[in-house]
Chains A and B, each alone.
Chain A
Amino acid sequence: MIAYLVKRLVQGIAVMLVISALGFAIQSHLGDPLRDLVGQSLGQDAQQQLRQDLGLDDPYWAQYVRFLGRVMQGDLGTSLFFDEPALQVILKKLPATLELVFAATVIIVLLSVPLGVYTAIRPHAILSRVIMGLSVLGISTPVFLTAILMISVFSVGYGWLPAFGRGDAVPVWGYWETNFASLDGLSHILLPSVALAAIMLPMFIRLIRAEMLEVLQSDYVKYARAKGLHPLRIYYVHALKNTLMPVITLGGVQIGTMVAYTILTETVFQWPGMGFMFLEAVNRADTPLIVAYLIVVGLIFVLTNTLVDLIYALVNPTVKLARMGA
């Protein structure tokens, strides 16, 4: 187990090094820090002197090592637009995105399991056909279109729900304000989280259904039936357990996609999270903030992927940890 953990950590660090190198390359090729600093006001010789003092003439690897050292200390540069440390800007936006992802995940889990199981045990029922038809439609609809449709129906059309922003978020601790503590906050998070869930849900329903169909043919389920166990117990305790493995794998693969979808969803709803901030930073050519976003998202991505792999190894008794660690 420990060998496996160490191996995963080394892999994660390698990925982070690649991402930071990319970030460094972007930062050093976009814009000229000297011009940002002094503009045209300095003479050639003085500029050259300053360039040397700032270490901008050093070889790339030396600059990269310095960049890495600053990143390790949490210094990801200063946002050009906000004029604040980039990390601080991102940390302020992080809770909004995490709450959105959390709400969407809750919706996905609560819906995909019962719907997937139902369509597997009643494959020919009309409701199952409707669910499967809707899931193909869901896969074919880009997330921003679902979001726009919901805004035009529920916000512009009926005026039931707000179309943009976080509304009345309640402060909890530090930068963290929550949408789950007030009615206004909940009404603001409802549409974005449903839109985000709607694009991921069909994939999980289809996967759970396919795996359930396979598992229901297996001998141990037939045996459980013969023993006279209650069908609900067979479906939800015996069979469902064995569909979880591929679902966890899919969840791990989809983390990166989820980040991309948060950018789209947050843009449509002007949700003040990291994704919306990233797109604004791109439009403002706010390089330090773009690089900081890449590094923070890369870190989140590596951490969650490692976590998913660990959960997979713990849940799946057939994974030989010793061999995987070797």
Chain B
Amino acid sequence: MSNLLITPPPSRWARFWASPLGDSLRGNPVALVALLVFSVIVVLALLAPVIAPFDPYDPTQIDIMNSDLPPFWIPGAEPQFVLGSDDQGRDMWSAILYGTRLSLMIGLAAVALQATLGIAIGLAAGYLGGRVDSLLMRLADIQLSFSTLMLAIVVLAVTHAMWGAAVFDRYAVVAVIAVIGLAEWPQYARTLRATVLAERQKEYVDSARVLGFGPLRIMLRHILPNAMSPIFVISTVQVGNAIIAEASLSFLGLGLPASQPSLGALIASGFDYIFAGSWWITALPGGVLVVLVLVINLLGDWLRDALNPRLYKV
């Protein structure tokens, strides 16, 4: 009988909540609220196809007669368009849900690309040392001094001119992810390299080597786990930056097309109508964008304080 009284093992969430990280979260209301808001935005964005009343990608659901309707708290609103509609008659609430999903997806994919590239280069530079190391780090310096946004604008502008708008729009998502993903690897590489240089002196690396493990296994299975906290902190901030970069590019017309709008493309399409008084077409997606990036940055600040990793300054 006593077997039945055994308490079930704590859930993943309970274990996180009891860990030092969870402890610091409990003492930090700002981070807690940020985490909550971020989770809500992510869930809504993921569920966009389920909860959105319209499909903004489907031209047959858009009726020009419904254009320029204000959100529900302003007289003249239609009940089926909760947050109003844009200049083409697209439902703002649906467009924002899909746009947030797209912005988040591009941000995460770009950062995944950055991290893969940066971690590989950082590990290689730190472990191999010598001439490879100095060459890679010199490249990182040069790459950093050209700003990512500038580089992205130039590359996408040239691609845009070369391919023409029609072809460019089709591959816009891939192009934007590739440009933001390829430009920011030094952020990871420099921190990873510093970690490898500090860790490779330690005894567990020596003992792994004595056991006969190859360099690839030592780097990935033994050294990399010790670099996880800086990777977490960098990744959080980088997702925010990537979302801003994507929005800026889309605003300039060098990112996603108006037919497949991210948050930045929505803001851009509304900008022309500000002077006509339809402020909500710009303000609502703009507000979502700022809140999304703000909570990501707040979480990044909290992670930095809680994990306190050694980061590369400037």
- Residues of A at under 8 Å CB distance from B? 15, 26, 29-30, 136-137, 139-145, 148-149, 151-152, 156, 163, 207, 246, 249-250, 252-257, 259-261, 263-264, 267-268, 278-279, 282-283, 285, 287, 290, 294, 301, 305
Contact = CB atoms under 8 A, between A and B. Distances in A.
Contacts of A253: 144-145, 314
Interface residues of B, dominant DSSP: helix
A254 B146 CA distance: 9
Interface residues of A, dominant DSSP: helix
Interface in B177-199: none
Given A140-B297, A256-B147, 18 more contacts: A30-B158, A137-B290, A139-B297, A142-B248, A148-B274, A148-B286, A149-B286, A152-B279, A246-B313, A246-B314, A256-B151, A257-B149, A260-B150, A260-B153, A261-B149, A263-B252, A264-B248, A282-B161
B267 interface: yes
A249 B141 CA distance: 12
Interface in B134-152: 142, 144-147, 149-151
B145 A141 contact: no
B267 A148 contact: yes
28 contacts: A30-B158, A30-B162, A136-B301, A137-B290, A137-B294, A140-B297, A142-B248, A142-B251, A143-B248, A144-B251, A144-B267, A148-B271, A151-B274, A156-B274, A156-B279, A249-B314, A253-B145, A256-B147, A256-B150, A256-B151, A259-B147, A260-B150, A261-B149, A264-B252, A267-B252, A268-B271, A279-B157, A294-B154
Contact of B247 (A142, A290, A305): A142
Give the interface centre of A139, A144, A156 by most chain B CB atoms within 10 Å.
Answer: A144
Contacts of B154: 294
B153 A136 contact: no
Nearest to A286: B161
Contacts of A246: 313-314
A144 B274 contact: no
Nearest to B313: A246
A136 B297 contact: yes
Given A139-B297, A282-B161, A145 B253 contact: no
B147 A257 contact: yes
Contact of B145 (A137, A268, A278, A305): A305
A254 B289 CA distance: 23
Given A145-B286, A148-B271, A260 B293 contact: no
Contact of B161 (A207, A268, A287): A287
Interface string B283-302: 10010011001101110010
A148 B275 contact: no
Contacts of B151: 256
A282 B298 CA distance: 36
Interface of B: 142, 144-147, 149-151, 153-154, 157-158, 160-162, 240, 244, 247-248, 251-254, 264, 267, 271, 274-275, 277, 279, 282-283, 286, 289-290, 293-294, 296-298, 301, 313-314
A136 B296 CA distance: 11
Nearest to A308: B145
B149 A260 contact: yes
Contacts of A256: 145-147, 150-151
Task: Give me the 4 closest cross-chain CB pairs, A-B, nearest first.
Answer: A256-B147, A257-B147, A260-B149, A140-B294
Contacts of A15: 142
Nearest to A143: B248
B157 A290 contact: yes
A264 B249 CA distance: 9
A301 B293 CA distance: 29
A58 B296 CA distance: 54
Given A253-B314, A264-B252, A26 B274 contact: no
A152 B286 CA distance: 13
A142 B153 CA distance: 15
A259 B150 contact: yes
Given A136-B294, A142-B244, A264 B251 contact: yes
A263 B153 contact: yes
B72 to A, nearest CB: 20
B20 to A, nearest CB: 24
B227 to A, nearest CB: 23
Given A30-B162, A156-B274, A285-B161, A144 B240 contact: no
Contacts of A263: 153, 252
Contacts of B275: 156, 163
B158 to A, nearest CB: 6
Contact of A282 (B254, B290, B301): B254
Contacts of A249: 314
B145 A145 contact: no
Nearest to A151: B274
A143 B153 CA distance: 15
Contact of B158 (A137, A144, A255, A290): A290
Contacts of B244: 140, 142
A117 B248 CA distance: 31
A126 B314 CA distance: 28
B31 to A, nearest CB: 12
A137 B252 CA distance: 22
Nearest to B144: A253
Give the interface centre of B247, B248, B294 by most chain A CB atoms within 10 Å.
Answer: B248
Contacts of B254: 282
A31 B296 CA distance: 43
A143 to B, nearest CB: 7
A252 B145 contact: yes
Contacts of A305: 145
